[in-house]
Amino acid sequence: MKVYVRAPYPENRLNELKELFDEVLYEPWNDTGERYYEDEMLAHLLEVKPDILITELDRVTEKVLNGYPNLKLIGDCRATPANLDTAACTKAGVPVLCTPGRNNQAVAELVVALIIMHMRHGLEAIQWIKDGKWVAGTTPYFTWMGNELQGKRVGLVGFGAVSQAAAKILDGFDCDVCYYDYKGRAYGHYTPLSLEELFATCDVVSLHLPVSDSTRGLVTEELLRTMKKDALFVNAGRSALVDTQGLIRVLNDRAIAGAVLDVLDNEPPTAEDLQIMNCPNVILTPHICGATYEVTNHQADILNARIRQWLAGENLSKIVYNRDVLNR
């Protein structure tokens, strides 16, 4: 079988693929310049003629699958295959393997770092120096005095891999880590709370949920207004979880201390999306919480392990994302 690798892959994991398959063609998107959209993806599949596609960003649609019907497997180096039409994959009989947990440590580390930066006014203080405002007679010690993370009550909405990695980091700050888990599961020494109690009682509330019919718009303006006035709201999950206009009103009213956001309704943002930057006490990053070089290693580790299982026919109901394809 021939494998077409369009995701960045470390050499040792590529060598593993070469041991498993007859031919491996490596053309990662970061070498070719950008993801392939529908027509480009189809054209390259027709040229390369692979049996297996390993991708990360490329768009694989029904048109692609109908135009090139010879794929036996797609490995997607993402936690969820947002770049694939998974219903079309199922219809075409193509199993999809994903890499859940690939960036959980990366997201957790930067979320905690940004929380600390917000609480300590780090970005403003740096800009204050750049603007030449540190002059004789100023007292930065008092101007930029902030709060410690240690001992704070931190609420994690959703308690999957990212939240669990964040909780371990927060343990080092002696934080009272609470969580809302819609499945009602128990996790060690951490405190389960209802969504309403979590928002009302925590010093920091951080979202870590996928978007689904049950979670879309979960965080309403009403819920945000139950937060403590000195509380911080964090969203490194998905913007669709939150009523964005409601959040803007809450921030402009200074009803909470501020927000740390790594996601927006549209990416890249429209001028309307960037209105939130005019709100007080907002740190906005361009969806980079999961962006580390190590993630490339993690996703390749996970995917190669799952490919081995697929070849052996093991745990297919657990590793195949579009499980309905197994019934075809």
CA-to-CA dists, residue 180 to 110, 115, 196, 206, angstroms = 21, 19, 9, 10
Question: Could you tell me if 182 and 198 are in contact, meaning their C-beta atoms sit under 8 angstroms apart?
Answer: no
Long-range contact pairs involving 282-288 (C-beta distance under 8 Å, separation at least 24):
282/251, 282/258, 283/114, 283/117, 283/118, 283/123, 283/258, 283/259, 285/110, 285/114, 285/261, 286/262, 287/262, 287/263, 288/110, 288/262
Q: Residue 35: enclosing H or E segment and its boundaries?
A: none
Question: From CA 235, how far away is CA 239, in angstroms rounded?
Answer: 7
Which one from 121, 225, 287, 323 is the annotated catalytic residue? 287
Q: Is 267 in the active site?
A: yes
- Catalytic member of 267, 272, 294, 314: 267
User: Could you confirm whether 238 is annotated as catalytic?
Assistant: yes
**Whether 272 is catalytic:** no
Query: How does DSSP classify residue 51?
Result: S
Residue where the block lists tokens 């049950």: 214
In whole angstroms, give the CA distance from residue 185 to residue 132: 52
Residue whose pair of structure tokens reads 């070089």 in the numeric block:
293
Name the catalytic one among 153, 238, 298, 306. 238
Residues serving a catalytic function are 238, 267, 287
